[in-house]
Amino acid sequence: MLSIYVPIVYVAVLIGFLYGISVFVRKRKPKGPENLLEDWFGPCHARNVFFSVLKQKPPAPDVILKSSLVIRGTEDLKRLLKMKNSRNALNVLINRGAVGDELIQEFTRLEKEMELELMDVARTANTLQEGWNQFFFQSCNEIINNERIHNKLDEIPKNIEQASKRWQQEKAEFEQVEEQKRIQAQKELGVL
């Protein structure tokens, strides 16, 4: 009687195991390109703001549309710069054999999706004002550089305070060492 149940239990466990593996593999399938940018960078609030301004009733003035598109383009360029830096790191990891093909394929799809996003921004800029797409990304790049400069300028007072504190500590330590050397020299001469 036991001999009949052993093969049945064996087949049931085997089927359950294979079912579990198939569920796991299906969940790990690469995500579609529609969510890839958000998966890597999080939601793009500038894009959402642009589309909400675009869909407003009554229509928003051109100045507001253009400014929201510039903010969207600036955010996309920031993402592109992060991707270029990540690409360099990924190439190093690829050369070392530290990453799998799945990550490489996902990153390639991410680059294509980013390219499509930038082309969409350029087309939108051209529809808002004819020929604007030629210098649109240059303006966005200037905004990014301006933000970097302002961030560096904001860090200067913090760095000055840190440098001042460090200099005061080093000065106190130096004076203490010099005082100990002076006392030691006076002891050796017999003055003290």
Provide the token pair at 173: 């330590």
pTM for the whole structure? 0.64
Q: What is the pLDDT of residues 80-97, one digit of tens each?
A: 999 999 888 888 888 888
pLDDT given at position 37: 72
- Alpha helices, DSSP H only, in the chain? 2-27, 36-41, 45-54, 62-96, 101-128, 133-189
Q: What is the pLDDT of residues 40-74, one digit of tens each?
A: 778 888 888 988 988 988 888 889 999 999 999 99
Give how far Cα 105 sits from Cα of 37, 88, 100, 102, 117, Å: 14, 15, 9, 5, 18
Backbone region of residue 8 per phi and psi (left: phi > 0; alpha: psi in -120 to 50; beta: other values): alpha
Q: What is the pLDDT of residues 108-160, one digit of tens each?
A: 888 999 999 999 999 999 998 888 888 899 999 999 999 999 999 888 887 78
For 136-149, letters b (16+ CB in 10 Å) and e give bbeebeebbeeeee
Do the Cβ atoms of 165 and 157 come closer than 8 Å? no
For 48-75, letters b (16+ CB in 10 Å) and e give eebeebeeeeeebeeeebbebbbbbbbb
pLDDT given at position 71: 94
Residue 159, class by beta-carbon neighbours within 10 Å (0-12 exposed, 13-18 middle, 19+ buried)? Answer: exposed
Best-predicted range by mean pLDDT among 17-21, 35-39, 172-176?
A: 172-176
Q: What is the pLDDT of residues 1-25, one digit of tens each?
A: 678 888 888 889 889 998 888 888 8
DSSP-assigned states of every residue in 114-134: HHHHHHHHHHHHHHHSTTTHH
